[in-house]
Amino acid sequence: MTMHDEIEARLIQAFELSPSEDGLRRLDQRVARAMTQPMAIPFRGLRTRRLFLRPLLLLAAFVLLTGAVVGGARLLDQIFESSGMPAWRIAWDRAEKLDLTATDAGVTITLERAYADLNQVLVGFTVEGLPAAPVTGHGEAYPIEWRAELRDPTGRTADQWATSGTGTTVADANLSAVGNFWEGAVTPVAGTWVLTFSSVGYNAGGWVSGECFVGNTDPTCDNPPPNAMIDGTWRFEFALPAPAGTVLSPHVSQTVGEATLTLTELRISPTMITARIALRVEGGTVADWGPAIGWGPWVHNASIRRDGTEYAINSITHVTQDPDAQGPYGDVNEFMTIVGADAATGTWEIEFSALRYRASIYDPIEGEGIQLPGPWTLTVSAP
Amino acid sequence: MLRVLALDEERDPNAEVVETEPERLDPSMFGLLYEQHRLAVYRYLRARTRSEDEALDLAGITFERAFTGLGRFRRRDGGVQAWLLRIARNTAIDAHRRHRPTVDLAGADAQLGRRAIEADRLQGERVEILDLVTRLPSDQREALLLRYAGGLTAREIGVVIGKREGAVQKQIERGLAALREAF
């Protein structure tokens, strides 16, 4: 062993400190609580209740490096072509072409297209006239941020029906393009939608990991740039046809022992299939539940199938986070797929190889929770 | 529920995991990510703080920030552990500056290191070597903490502190040489 090896061994041994069991448990619980909070998508005007955002739908920002100035519609095309999400492409291709423009505070927003089916609403818009985006410590341009309120033909704002929202952006020179989705039970009527932006810009104040707090002058910190949001009013009214899709309300159940799993709603639309499923345990409390073996939203042991064709689930929304708000069927989750179907006809089968639940979200997270061995299968036929 | 790994199952600091890590992170990965890296984050923060409680508090903040900022992760920035330790380092710097705005970082770190030693009542060589580490120049000390408490490679440390891999390697070598000389 060389001297350096010996010194290294001593260093490793010196730093080999582990927290106490109690300390580690507290840390586990703290992180678990953080993970059960909704991941806010700031400045979209949405109340997001989704526990875990769709992996492929996390905010993505791209800055084109070609140097060529590209038109807004073309930028939006690039978003949907490069997303790897067939459902996004379908939504964009089927969207109503609007080309509506509003200017305020020197900033012009152009609403290029809008689309609605029974599972989600998409708007594609461009923003022109913002100052150059500030650059992060990693040399990346900060993505554009915005506040917007979407009102459906019945007058409901998105926070009344959307369970989550997401956006994807692309920027080229002084032009930014945004695809903004609201996901949830879209009202099934044709009519006039109203989209109102109240702020647009950069760094609205959301915390960015790796950065120090604003005002920290330590040169080793990667500080966020100053707030660069521009307030104004950019209002758009546009008509959309009745959203495509079918809603089934089967209320089919499977009961094993004290536990009952109920499919209360299946929404089938061209871009997504959403299964709303509730778990109730007689004489007990279900604070949250999932199909996972292990902890976390690992949905690989759950499937939605129709006549042998599988529609991959990649997201779960915990709808009833407050146990007191649960209805007669118990704690409700929404399971969402990454592809949809134009027609509902066929036999739909939703299967979980096993379930688990917690009686309290503050329960210790070690162990496996309360297991409900499966398989659990819910079947519904659509004519 | 969280699958608990035995401590020695957690990330091998010498393992080249960066190439197998995802380009981006999504929330579904966070539970496993936390399990794999919590000990490294804790040890790094423990080496910079006075007590277990303080280290755990900063580790909690670190993972809360990491979860909030998952969308910002890029594999090219050095891998998950480097990303987490960068957040941890900024968190520790923030905490330090909030509480001791007028004390220079190097002096405060040395003071904190000594207090940590006292609090833990460490014995013999452990006390001696940690005391020596706290006396090293700040860049050498930081490189050694990230290497031997955080388990990062020189390349990953470079990402965390914004230096080239070669420069980091030199700092580590100089730090080790100083320790060797002291011993």
**Which pLDDT does position A251 carry in this prediction?**
95
Distance in Å, alpha carbon of A309 to nearest chain B alpha carbon: 24
Hey, of B72, B141, B179, which one would you mutate to test binding to chain A, going by the most A CBs within 10 A of its CB? B72
Hey, of A209, A316, A363, which one would you mutate to test binding to chain B, going by the most B CBs within 10 A of its CB? A209
**Which pLDDT does position B112 carry in this prediction?**
35
CA atoms within 13 A on the CB side of B136: 27
**Which pLDDT does position A219 carry in this prediction?**
53
Hey, of A11, A56, A216, A356, which one would you mutate to test binding to chain B, going by the most B CBs within 10 A of its CB? A11
A283 shares a domain with A197: no
A229 shares a domain with A112: yes
CB-based contact (8 Å) between B131 and chain A?
no
pLDDT for A271 beyond 90: yes
- Return mean pLDDT, chain A: 78
pLDDT for A227 beyond 80: no
Q: Which of residues 95-124 of B touch A (CB under 8 A)?
A: 97, 105, 120, 122
A153 shares a domain with A276: no
Q: Which residues contact B140 (CB under 8 A, 6 or more apart)?
A: B171, B172, B174, B175, B178
Helices B30-48 and B105-120: crossing angle in degrees, nearest 10, is 100
Give A145-165 pLDDT, tens digit per residue: 788 889 999 999 987 888 766
pLDDT for A196 beyond 80: yes
Cβ distance of B27 and A15 shorter than 8 Å: no
Measured between alpha carbons, how far is B138 from A222 in angstroms, rounded to an integer? Answer: 18
**Which pLDDT does position B116 carry in this prediction?**
40
Q: Are A376 and A254 in contact (CB under 8 A)?
A: yes
Kindly state the DSSP code that residue A330 receives in the 8-state scheme: B
- Higher-confidence residue of A344 and A17: namely A344
Q: Is residue A10 part of a domain?
A: no
Q: Hey, what are A234's tokens?
A: 């950019």
Give A108-158 pLDDT, tens digit per residue: 999 999 999 999 999 999 999 998 887 765 566 677 878 888 999 999 998
CA-closest candidate to residue A309, choices A283, A280, A334, A345: A345
**Which pLDDT does position B35 carry in this prediction?**
85
Per-residue pLDDT averaged across A175-185, rounded? 87
A256 shares a domain with A165: no
Q: Is A359 helix (H, G, I), strand (E, B) or coil?
A: coil
- β-pair type (A162-172, A60-63): parallel
Q: Which residues of A touch B176 (CB under 8 A)?
A: 4, 7-8
Q: Hey, what are A264's tokens?
A: 């209360």
A128 shares a domain with A145: yes
Kindly report the CATH number assigned to the domain that includes residue A81: 2.60.40.1630
Q: Choose one of A217, A240, A263: the last residue of a domain.
A: A240
Q: Is residue A67 part of a domain?
A: yes
**Which pLDDT does position A366 carry in this prediction?**
39
Q: Are A257 and A241 in contact (CB under 8 A)?
A: no
Q: Is residue A27 part of a domain?
A: no
Q: Is residue A41 part of a domain?
A: no
Q: Choose one of A240, A275, A291: the last residue of a domain.
A: A240
CA torsion, points A32, A36, A42, A48, in degrees to nearest 10?
170
Closest CB to B179 among A7, A60, A222: A7
Our count of domains for chain A comes to 2
What ipTM describes this predicted complex?
0.77
Cα–Cα distances in angstroms (integers) from residue A316 to residues A47, A277, A350, A357, B134, in the given order? 16, 10, 14, 14, 47
Measured between alpha carbons, how far is B149 from B113 in angstroms, rounded to an integer? Answer: 13
pLDDT for B120 beyond 80: no
Domain boundaries, chain B: 22-182
CA-closest candidate to residue B121, choices B25, B179, B51, B16: B51
A283 shares a domain with A231: no
Cα–Cα distances in angstroms (integers) from residue A243 to residues A45, A88, A100, A126, in the given order? 22, 15, 21, 24
Cβ distance of B86 and A356 shorter than 8 Å: no
**Which pLDDT does position A56 carry in this prediction?**
28
**Which pLDDT does position A37 carry in this prediction?**
55
Residue A240 pLDDT class (50, 70, 90 cuts): very high
**Which pLDDT does position B180 carry in this prediction?**
84
Residue with tokens 């902890």: A295
A308 shares a domain with A290: yes
Claim: this prediction has a pTM higher than 0.90:
no
Q: Choose one of A224, A240, A256: the last residue of a domain.
A: A240
pLDDT for A365 beyond 60: no
pLDDT for A284 beyond 80: yes
Contacts across the A-B interface (CB distance below 8 Å): 171
Measured between alpha carbons, how far is B159 from A349 in angstroms, rounded to an integer? Answer: 48
Measured between alpha carbons, how far is A82 from A169 in angstroms, rounded to an integer? Answer: 11
Give B25-43 pLDDT, tens digit per residue: 777 778 888 888 999 999 9
Range of the domain at A333: 246-382
Most confident of A48-52, A275-279, B32-36, B112-116: A275-279
Measured between alpha carbons, how far is B32 from B44 in angstroms, rounded to an integer? Answer: 19
Q: Determine whether A147 is exposed, middle or buried from the number of CB atoms within 10 Å of its CB (0-12, 13-18, 19+).
A: middle
